[in-house]
Structure 1
Amino acid sequence: MNALTLPDIAAQASRQALPLEWVGMCGIALPVLLDGQRIAAKADAGVSLNDGEARGIHMSRLYLALEMLEQQNLTPALLRRLLQRFLDSHEGLAHNAYLRLHLDLLLKRPALVSPLAGWKSYPLSIEARLKNAMFHVELKIQVPYSSTCPCSAALSRQLIQQQFIEDFADQPLQHAEILAWLGSAQGIVATPHSQRSHAELHLRLDDFLDELPLIAVIDDAENALGTAVQTAVKRADEQAFALANGQNLMFCEDAARRLNLALRRSPGINACQLRVVHAESLHAHDAVAHSQWNWES
């Protein structure tokens, strides 16, 4: 008995001839090799369906091509080869290819003072497209940090001044008494509010980079913001962090401007769109600021 040929429904003609801009799969689980780390990721992979007469694309060919990401370190050159494979496997059907990767980049970060270190996770998306023979890569990176409100700090200082006047009115000032007062809860009657904040960076890269500038971008952002959140700490690190916050007061507007200027100087970036979010501890809503340069939709 002869084996039956399995039907290829996707190769049949479409009943409604119409090209489609994007066809593919979303949320494909796979490991990605990035800077020597094997990281769990989710991929969205697709191509355009330019042949409006075709019923569909060959999704399994896209899926199998993604194995390249398991075997080779993730670079712009690898992304371009992968997209070209998408197109080669859909010759006559597709003109454009797309890939988006979602993952968490793990970086080991040192403590501020002590010899401790710990891992910090940075949510990351990498989007590559080969469209009309033009290759582009974009990054989306989320960077957490701490922000202390300048207004709250000024109001707290004023309350401390008022308490000092009340406690030492018409008294001779003694160094030891003042020192004890400054170290007591009675003296420091108010503290400014701080909040865990984050920056959402959307970056378009130069077309011919050899490497993805992930760590460089994160370092530039954290240096510009000045108060990156910590991992493992001792009391000395916590005190150093309190000092850094006290000397680094900023509104969300300040953070957005700092990042804008810093990322303009980052090599390999030709356009930027950013959003900062300060998750208010005073309010039940967030403070948000947007900024961009050289960005066109």
Structure 2
Amino acid sequence: MLMSANRPLPDVAFDAAALSRALDWVGMEGIALPVRLSDRGLQAAARVDVGVNLRDPERRGIHMSRLYLQLQQALPQARLDSLELDGLLVGLIESQQGAADRVQLVLHYDHLLERPALVSQNAGWKRYPVQLRSERGPEGSRHWLSLSVEYSSTCPASAALSRELNAESFLAAFGEGDVDTDAVRDWLAGKDGLAATPHAQRSMAEVEVELADGFDHLPVAALADVLEQALGTPVQTAVKREDEQAFARANAQNLMFCEDAARRVGAALSSLPWVRTWQAKVSHLESLHAHDAVARVAGRND
């Protein structure tokens, strides 16, 4: 017990609760901490939420400072793998000296990945918002990784309507019968050769996967790669003209309604052996409408 001028400091945390009731979660949100991203010492600034249940309905509160101090000591050095996270969760529960048997830890941070340009020899860094949610109770530990990936979506209906206008424009310019291929190429390459363009928009795939037991590292890069390859049109970093042209080709080859994007994401996630359950939301931030087009899908791999 702390002393002040030879007197013990009051501690009302051990007073009886005015309204007796067990609590599902008590803790802190938005703690500022660095997290270790690799064995090379790379770190990221994180916001951390931590809480435990309060089992005794008569007990007024938990040892909140013990949660904070343990995170301050352990998390900056901890590897984000199954073994160390499980050990941290056990320690957080034990810090409550029997007052709790469940804990939830949530890390929010931005993960940077270097991405090459589509054609040129350039590269740039992309930001991927990450959330890692870990829970432990008497039945064991579970871990969920959430990731957001931005991509471009070109509307298939708008593309079809644009092709129709372009075909009509071509017919008006050249009519029927034989045509000079050089003249056609020059016309197509000029401003008259594009009567309409399909609408496209920046889009977002937000996924949450439950990781299988025993993962030895946090698979952020692997998950980002799987999603971007499935969608085919991830937003770019460093872009020269040849990269922009390749991006336009990729959009034409990957016309997508939000339903198409959701099915692509679902097929990709359902093939991952290190994922137990998953859910995804895709949002096409419409350039035609003042509202967004959204689709959701979920599944289980085990």
TM over 0.5: yes
2-side partners of 1:65 and 1:267: how far apart? Answer: 33
State the partner residue of 2:226. 220
Query: Helix, strand or coil: the match of 1:289?
Result: strand
- Unpaired stretches in structure 1, ≥5 consecutive residues: none
State the partner residue of 1:177. 183
Q: Does 1:63 align with 2:68?
A: yes
Q: Does 1:189 align with 2:202?
A: no
State the partner residue of 1:11. 14
Q: Deviations over 1:266-294 (max 9, x none)?
A: 13101111110001111111111111112
Query: Which amino acid in the other structure matches residue 60 of structure 1?
Result: S
State the partner residue of 1:45. 50
Give the Å deviation of 1:140: 1.2
State the partner residue of 1:287. 293
State the partner residue of 1:276. 282
Equivalent pair of 1:124/1:141 in contact (CA under 8 Å): yes
1-side partners of 2:149 and 2:287: how far apart? Answer: 19
Give the Å deviation of 1:235: 0.7
Q: Runs in 1 of length 4+ with deviation above 3 angstroms?
A: none
Give the Å deviation of 1:171: 6.9
2-side partners of 1:76 and 1:44: how far apart? Answer: 18
1-side partners of 2:9 and 2:278: how far apart? Answer: 49
2:102 aligned to which of 83, 87, 96 = 96
- What's the TM-score once normalised by structure 2's chain length? 0.94
Equivalent pair of 1:217/1:266 in contact (CA under 8 Å): no
Equivalent pair of 1:75/1:212 in contact (CA under 8 Å): yes
Equivalent pair of 1:30/1:40 in contact (CA under 8 Å): yes
2-side partners of 1:116 and 1:291: how far apart? Answer: 35
RMSD: 1.5
2-side partners of 1:183 and 1:174: how far apart? Answer: 14
Equivalent pair of 2:78/2:85 in contact (CA under 8 Å): no
Percent identity of equivalent pairs: 50
- What's the TM-score once normalised by structure 1's chain length? 0.96
Query: Which amino acid in the other structure matches residue 33 of structure 1?
Result: R
Instruction: Report 1:48-127 matches (<5 A).
Output: 48-67=53-72, 68-127=74-133
State the partner residue of 2:240. 234
Query: Which amino acid in the other structure matches residue 289 of structure 2?
Result: H
State the partner residue of 1:27. 30
State the partner residue of 1:201. 207
Number of aligned residue pairs: give it.
295
2-side partners of 1:108 and 1:73: how far apart? Answer: 21
2-side partners of 1:63 and 1:133: how far apart? Answer: 24
Q: Which moved more, 1:121-130 or 1:202-211?
A: 202-211
Equivalent pair of 2:233/2:254 in contact (CA under 8 Å): yes
Equivalent pair of 2:79/2:85 in contact (CA under 8 Å): no
Q: Which moved more, 1:221-230 or 1:83-92?
A: 83-92
Give the Å deviation of 1:172: 4.6
Q: Does 1:143 align with 2:149?
A: yes
Equivalent pair of 2:211/2:276 in contact (CA under 8 Å): yes
Query: Which amino acid in the other structure matches residue 117 of structure 2?
Result: A
Query: Which amino acid in the other structure matches residue 140 of structure 2?
Result: M
Equivalent pair of 1:263/1:269 in contact (CA under 8 Å): yes
Equivalent pair of 2:270/2:300 in contact (CA under 8 Å): no
Equivalent pair of 1:213/1:268 in contact (CA under 8 Å): no
2-side partners of 1:169 and 1:120: how far apart? Answer: 48
1-side partners of 2:280 and 2:167: how far apart? Answer: 38
